[in-house]
């Protein structure tokens, strides 16, 4: 059975929540980590990467969204997985609200999707660091 990274992250989050009763807890002051998984629309993988490389990164930075990293699953080359770090869930909501109405984002999205959407599926999972996580 093949699982996506997002599925594994959700399972890990569920396991962490169950473990809270056994001594695990969310780290005080943990940032809100957001794991996002994009499945490219057919034939749009290169364009999706170009949009992130040429536009999205700078717009994330402008709105205080910290990019931890980007990955491509070895067995799913049409999938882009990335991790953002926000100061809090409220900060994430405010950043995404500002991002969506940013004129630079609107222009980049419209230009890159002139011949159709770049994504077939987008998933987002918010996570908090455990009290024993080296990254908080």
**What tens digit of pLDDT does each residue of 87-135 get?**
999 999 999 999 999 999 999 999 999 999 999 999 999 999 999 988 8
Contact 132, 49 (CB under 8 A): no
Tokens encoding 45? 């993988």
Contact 116, 11 (CB under 8 A): no
Q: What is the pLDDT of residues 9-41, one digit of tens each?
A: 544 555 444 444 556 698 888 899 999 999 999
When divided into structural domains, the chain yields a total of: 1
Asked, for residue 136, whether it belongs to a domain, the answer is: no
Top pLDDT among 44 and 3 is at 44
Residues 106, 124, 127: CA angle, nearest 5 degrees: 125
Q: Domain limits at 93?
A: 5-128
Asked, for residue 111, whether it belongs to a domain, the answer is: yes
Distances (CA, A) of 113 to 37, 50, 51: 19, 12, 10
In this prediction the pTM is 0.81
Residue 22: per-residue pLDDT: 55
């Amino acid at each position: 059975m093949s699982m996506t990274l997002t599925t594994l992250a959700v399972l890990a989050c569920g396991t962490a929540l169950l473990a809270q009763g056994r001594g695990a807890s969310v780290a005080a002051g943990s940032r809100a980590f957001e794991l996002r998984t994009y499945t490219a629309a057919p034939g749009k993988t290169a364009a999706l990467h170009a949009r992130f490389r040429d536009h999205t990164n700078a717009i994330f930075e402008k709105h205080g969204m910290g990019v931890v990293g980007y990955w491509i699953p070895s067995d799913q080359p049409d999938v882009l997985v990335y991790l953002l770090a926000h100061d809090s869930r409220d900060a994430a909501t405010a950043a995404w609200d500002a991002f969506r109405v940013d004129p630079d984002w609107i222009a980049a999205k419209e230009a890159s999707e002139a011949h159709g959407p770049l994504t077939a599926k987008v998933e987002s999972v918010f996570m908090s660091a455990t009290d024993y996580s080296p990254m908080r």
